[in-house]
């Protein structure tokens, strides 16, 4: 749902300009330094990018799903590392609070997250637990007015810069109903960070372990104040995250198409631009078509979500198709660039590595397939 098309057009145009004038020129530096310059993070903050999805009452933009998708399509056009900085505040690092938080939690955290004054991060995965998320082992034991947390969280995006973690821990018995979501400030006693992970791509973003050793948090750190609701909270916000990621994938695919087209126009072999060779045209046509298909499905699914429909299947389909699709498009983009596409100073080279992640996190492709089939069979 688009509430005001003229207004959205201005938002999208502004983000597009920012991406093209500020972020794309900064890509080579981010690759080189494996860090996003602080000045760029400040600009992203000034622009209001941290509060896209946080309700207006708490200082955010309160974008509908369709509006968020339109913005994510633009953000996807540059290195995913930039999007990752604002990803957690707009996604799983704030959505849990919005969905199920108490008034005090909303009043305290949401305006700060919207302004980008604090960075939120989401900690579910553990060394022994990934796809089977309901099996987490991190334990939370009640002690008077506090909870004592013990366990390790793995591959946590933005953990090294986070101020607060939405952290899943077990307060009860086995399975999903024993899981509780806590808001754990970075400076909680007993919380430490592991060394920063060396990743394949998305240089400039940081993940690391979050280690809890008799970490103390007050009882009012439970999102919504009630034990055993954590898994339900996480499930509520998954659809939004999946559509957001799918839109980012489409934005990246569009960039890869544009890079491929401009290279195919410039590069000459056998006396003509390689874009005039039909086998190269076939690759462009496949990529252009798949990119368009992804765009259509993600916008359609977003509209359905805004209308209140159950879209578990559609959201999983979008995440599955768009993340796999951008992998194929990136592969063709490298092929069209020939040897240059294998070299570090080519944008398609880092996109090829960067987009690989989209098939793994927020539910692997196999997990999406399981969800889609389950929805189909249970309908």
Ligand X SMILES: Cc1cc2nc3c(=O)[nH]c(=O)nc-3n(C[C@H](O)[C@H](O)[C@H](O)COP(=O)(O)OP(=O)(O)OC[C@H]3O[C@@H](n4cnc5c(N)ncnc54)[C@H](O)[C@@H]3O)c2cc1C
Q: Is 55 in the site for other proteins (CB under 8 A)?
A: no
Q: Which of residues 14-53 bind other proteins (CB under 8 A)?
A: 14-15, 17-18, 43, 46-49, 51-52
Q: If binding is defined by CB under 8 A, does position 151 make contact with other proteins?
A: no
The count of other CB atoms within 10 Å of the CB of residue 83 is 26
The residue (of 16 and 304) whose beta carbon lies closer to other proteins is 16
Instruction: Work out what residue 305 binds among other proteins, ligand X, none; the CB cut-off runs from 5 to 8 Å by kind.
Output: none
123 forms part of the interface with ligand X (CB under 6 A) = yes
Report the b/e string of 89-105 with b at 16+ CB within 10 A. bbbbbbbbbbbbbeeeb
Q: Is 194 in the site for ligand X (CB under 6 A)?
A: no
Shortest Cβ distance from residue 134 to ligand X (Å)?
12
Give backbone dihedrals phi and psi of 183, rounded to 5 degrees, phi first. Answer: -100, 105
* Backbone φ, ψ for residue 212 (5° rounding): -115, 115
Interaction between residue 122 and ligand X (CB under 6 A): yes
Among 105, 138, 180, 207, binds ligand X (CB under 6 A): 207
- Asked if 305 interacts with other proteins (CB under 8 A), we say no
Q: Which residue, chain included where needed, has tokens 């996003």?
A: 36
- Told to check if 157 binds ligand X by CB under 6 A, we report yes
Q: Does 9 bind other proteins (CB under 8 A)?
A: yes
102 interacts with, out of other proteins, ligand X, none, CB within 5 to 8 A per kind: none
Helix axes 312-337, 365-378, angle to 10 degrees: 140
Q: Which stretch binds other proteins (CB under 8 A): 11-19, 218-226, 227-235, 323-331?
A: 11-19
- Whole-angstrom distance, CA of residue 274 vs CA of residue 377: 47
Q: Which of 41, 61, 118, 299 binds other proteins (CB under 8 A)?
A: 61
Residues 321, 322, 323, 328: what is their CA dihedral angle, to the nearest 10 degrees? Answer: 90
Q: Which does 13 bind (CB under 5 to 8 A by kind): other proteins, ligand X, none?
A: other proteins
> Token pair of 3, please?
């509430």
Active-site residues, by number, are 362
Nearer to ligand X, 150 or 364 (CB): 364
Instruction: Tell me whether residue 114 is exposed, middle or buried, using C-beta atoms within 10 angstroms of its C-beta: 0 to 12, 13 to 18, 19 or more.
Output: buried
Establish if 131 lies at the interface with ligand X (CB under 6 A): yes
The one among 55, 59, 130, 172 contacting ligand X by CB under 6 A: 130
Question: Cβ closer to ligand X: 240 or 332?
Answer: 240
**Residue 349 C-alpha from the chain's centroid:** 21
Task: Give the torsion through C-alpha atoms of 176, 180, 186, 188, to 10 deg.
Answer: -130
* Binding track over 352-371 against other proteins, x by CB under 8 A: --------------------
CA dist 2 and 70 (Å) reads: 10
Task: Choose which of 15, 357, 371, 372 interacts with ligand X (CB under 6 A).
Answer: 357
Which residue's beta carbon is nearest to the bound ligand X?
A: 130
Q: How many CA atoms lie within 13 A of 122 on its CB side?
A: 24
According to the binding rule CB under 8 A, does residue 110 interact with other proteins? no
Backbone angles phi, psi at 123, to 5 degrees: -120, 100
Q: Are strands 120-123 and 164-170 parallel, antiparallel or unpaired?
A: parallel
**Dist. CA 332–CA 256, nearest whole Å:** 9
**Among other proteins, ligand X, none, what binds residue 7 when CB lies within 5 to 8 Å by partner kind?**
other proteins
Strand 146-157 with 191-196, pairing: unpaired
- The entry of ligand X, other proteins, none near residue 14 (CB within 5 to 8 angstroms by kind) is other proteins
Binding site for ligand X (CB under 6 A): 122-125, 130-131, 155-157, 199, 207, 357, 360-361, 364, 366-367
Binding site for other proteins (CB under 8 A): 4, 6-7, 9-11, 13-15, 17-18, 43, 46-49, 51-52, 56, 59, 61
């Amino acid at each position: 749902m688009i509430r005001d098309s003229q207004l959205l057009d201005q938002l999208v145009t502004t983000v597009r300009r920012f991406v093209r004038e500020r972020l794309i020129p900064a890509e080579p530096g981010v690759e080189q330094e494996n860090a996003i310059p602080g000045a760029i993070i400040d600009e992203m903050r000034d622009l209001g990018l941290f509060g896209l999805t946080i309700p207006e009452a708490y200082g955010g933009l309160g974008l509908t799903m369709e509006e968020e998708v339109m913005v994510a399509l633009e953000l996807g056009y540059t290195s995913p590392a930039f999007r990752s900085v604002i990803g957690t505040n707009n996604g799983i690092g704030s959505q849990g609070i919005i969905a199920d938080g108490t008034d005090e939690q909303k009043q305290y955290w949401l305006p700060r997250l919207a302004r980008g004054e604090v960075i939120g991060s989401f900690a579910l995965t553990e060394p022994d637990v990934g796809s089977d998320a309901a099996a987490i082992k991190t334990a939370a034991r009640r002690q008077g007015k506090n909870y004592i947390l013990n366990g390790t969280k793995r591959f946590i995006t933005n953990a090294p810069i986070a101020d607060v973690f939405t952290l899943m821990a077990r307060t009860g018995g086995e399975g999903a109903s024993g899981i509780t979501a806590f808001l754990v400030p970075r400076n909680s006693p007993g919380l430490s960070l592991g060394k920063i992970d060396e990743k394949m791509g998305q240089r400039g973003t940081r993940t690391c372990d979050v280690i809890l050793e008799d970490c103390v948090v007050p009882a009012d750190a439970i999102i919504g104040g009630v034990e055993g609701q954590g898994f339900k909270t996480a499930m509520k916000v998954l659809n939004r995250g999946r559509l957001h990621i799918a839109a980012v994938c489409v934005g990246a695919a569009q960039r890869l198409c544009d890079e491929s087209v401009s290279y195919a126009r410039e590069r000459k072999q056998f006396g003509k631009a390689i874009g005039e060779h039909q086998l190269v045209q076939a690759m462009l046509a496949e990529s252009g078509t798949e990119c368009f298909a992804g765009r259509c499905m993600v916008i359609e699914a977003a509209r359905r979500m805004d209308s209140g429909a159950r879209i578990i299947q559609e959201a999983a389909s979008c995440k599955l198709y768009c993340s796999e699709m951008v992998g194929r498009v990136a592969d063709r983009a490298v092929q069209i660039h020939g040897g240059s596409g294998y070299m570090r100073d080519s944008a398609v080279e880092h996109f090829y590595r960067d987009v690989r992640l989209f098939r793994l996190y927020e539910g692997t492709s196999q997990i999406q397939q399981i969800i889609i089939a389950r929805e189909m069979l249970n309908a």
